[in-house]
Amino acid sequence: MTLKDTSVTPLNEHQFTERASALLRFVYGEARAVGVLRRLMQLIERYADAFDTTPRPLWSERSQVLITYGNTVSAADPDVFPLNELNRFLGERLNDTFSAVHILPFFSWSSDDGFSITHYLEVSPDLGDWADVRRIAEGHNLMLDLVINHVSRESLWFADYIAGTQPGRDYFIELPANTDVSRVTRPRNTPLLVPVSTRRGTRHVWATFSDDQIDLNFENPDVLIEMLGVLLNYLSQGARIVRLDAIAFLWKELGTACIHLPQTHAIVKLIRAVFDYLVPGVLLITETNVPHHENLSYFGDGDEAHLVYQFTLPPLLVHTLSTGDAAPLTEWAATLPPLPAGCTYFNFTASHDGIGVRALEGLLPEHDISQLLELMKRFGGHVSMKTGPDGEDSPYEINITYFDAMKGTRKGEDPWQIGRFLCSQTIMMGLQGIPGVYLHSLTATGNDTNGVQRTGHLRAINRKRWQRDTLEHLLDSPTTPTRIVFERLTERLKLRRAEPCFHPDVPQKILELSPQVFAFLRGPLENGRRLLALHNVSDQPQAITLPDGLKGRGWTDLIDNLASPDDEKLLLKPYRSAWLVSQS
């Protein structure tokens, strides 16, 4: 197959209004849809001159995303804004490594490290300003979050609700305290209805995630128009990838689970239509930490998200490398369905959140999941819980850094942590899709137990803030895990960017070579080039015999872990990986 940078076919005005009208009629009914569409077109008109509507490529093999907070790396000089220091770090340490940077919410906020926003259009003054954000966007595709489901209770909109004034008075979901919400799917074990003192007395409002994160009421079309205005502002500031945070919970309907409702999917389709009309080639990614088949539903028919998070990968890789058994990973990867045109996966192992457990439902037996949770606790991690419809708590995510999740196997800690971790990252980088690498994975960051104690929040274990001089010392010291991991991962990321077989549109075939080896084939391309990825997930050397169709093809190992990659039998050391390429 011949691969070029994938481009999108833009929508013209007629196509857009037809699609938007149909979606708005579905969500709001015939009577209201006409007015909502008129307001949407007026909003778009205000921003029309801010955008270049020339279609841009969606992705290529060079597409790689760094995930970071705006203040993960800070200067010793308090006069240097963290966003400036981040930009300097990118230029000095990660030049030509990542095509995109996901800066986690950098707006004014009150809790949850940015995901409880007080002002959507204001950069947190502790981080910098929009000029600092745009400087980063000049050198990288900027990925940012539209925190669409909820706002801070300290926001101006919620202040309006408390005072009973417009515009925010009707932006939230108010219910009697005794409303039966037992069917609602919860990602937390806190109460869903939060008491709030207002000028009308105590009221109870819907809060999916915390009592400081109050859900917006999208049954009110004013809320939709407000959030689309925020979105267009972000695009005008240079955003090229937009992450819809917690999108699965957007629409509420009592008597249902209030997750993945048809109206939610329709609003995602509407946002995608706005992109394809105004900024073709800007990517939409949905964040839905749910079982795999539910996650895939956000591709729609190729008309919703361009990318969905591969939430199954992080916990399944931990299970694989802690047991030395690649069979469940191989079985899962082999069943991934064909991707819709113009869609791909966002592969990752670590992020600002924990390692989700729900994605393992139906993939691993309960006793394997329980053993995994206990092992992570032995390695210094914690387990966050959620409340089910039956009122019972169950595991939701593991709070641990991904590096420390690789401390050992079920036999306990061992000397293979770095090798095991590098194997996990190499698997993630090679799979079909676009890789996202958390900055703390690059720096082999261990559990920040002080952060947990200081904040009282379990997720702080994976959100360490580096002082630049401390980080530089570790990166320049010859034998630190930070230096070893940083150098190996950046080397492999640069290899990946130069390899056309890693284009997201190149298909993959999962191979069953050995229970201790995870293997897949990417390609072949039209010129015959293909890539064979081999990974020893165990602490013992593995002798690998290639299938007859893959023998004698003049393989070369890009990573240099196999001295003679064309031998009849290949000996792969513990936790080593190989990227074998061939032109035949």
Transcribe 202-223 into DSSP letters.
EEEEE-SSBTTEEEB-TTSHHH
Token couple for 492: 């492999």
pTM, to two decimals:
0.96
**In this structure, are residues 209 and 112 in contact, taking their beta carbons and an 8 Å threshold?**
yes
Q: Is 185 left (phi over 0), alpha (psi -120 to 50) or beta?
A: beta
The C-alpha atoms of residue 326 and residue 316 are separated, in whole angstroms, by 9
Whose tokens are 């591709």? That residue is 299
| N residues, the chain | 584
| pLDDT in the model for residue 386 | 82
Report the pLDDT value the prediction gives residue 53, as an integer from 0 to 100.
82
Q: Which of 132, 245, 353, 539 is catalytic?
A: 245
Q: Which CATH architecture has domain 65-148+221-258+279-502?
A: Alpha-Beta Barrel (3.20)
Q: Say whether 390 is catalytic.
A: no
pLDDT tens digits, the chain, 584 residues: what are they?
555 556 678 999 999 999 999 999 999 999 999 999 999 999 999 998 888 888 889 999 999 999 999 999 999 898 999 999 999 999 999 999 999 999 999 999 999 999 999 999 999 999 999 999 999 999 999 999 999 999 999 999 999 999 999 999 999 999 999 999 999 998 888 899 999 999 999 999 999 999 999 999 999 999 999 999 999 999 999 999 999 999 999 999 999 999 999 999 999 999 999 999 999 999 999 999 888 899 999 999 999 999 999 999 999 999 999 999 999 999 999 999 999 999 999 999 999 999 999 999 999 999 999 999 999 999 999 999 887 766 778 899 999 999 999 999 999 999 999 999 999 999 999 999 999 999 999 999 999 999 999 999 999 999 999 999 999 999 999 999 999 999 999 999 999 999 999 999 999 999 999 999 999 999 999 999 999 999 999 999 999 999 998 998 899 999 988 888 877 789 999 999 999 999 98
Tokens 């942590």 belong to which residue? Answer: 417
Pairing mode, strands 65-68 and 100-103: parallel
Q: What pLDDT is stored for residue 416 in this prediction? A: 98
Distance CA 53, CA 11 (A): 10
CATH superfamily of 508-582: Golgi alpha-mannosidase II (2.60.40.1180)
Domain with CATH 2.60.40.1180 in the chain: 508-582
Residues 6+ apart with CB under 8 A from 382: 398, 399, 400, 452, 458, 461
pLDDT at residue 4 in the model: 55
Distance from C-alpha of 536 to C-alpha of 544, rounded to nearest angstrom: 10
Q: What is the pLDDT of residue 7?
A: 67
Q: How far apart are CA 109 and CA 91, in angstroms?
A: 28
Query: How is residue 213 written in tokens?
Result: 């994160």
* DSSP single-letter state for residue 431: S
* Residue ranges, CATH 3.20.20.80, the chain: 65-148+221-258+279-502
Task: Tell which residue, 520, 518, 519, has the closest CA to residue 325.
Answer: 518
What is d(CA 577, CA 211) in angstroms, rounded to the nearest whole number?
A: 45
The secondary structure of residue 148, as a DSSP letter, is: -
Which pLDDT score is estimated for 278? 95
Residues 6 or more apart whose CB falls under 8 angstroms from that of 513 comprise 519, 534, 544, 545, 546, 547
Q: Which residues pair with 123 in a beta bridge?
A: 107
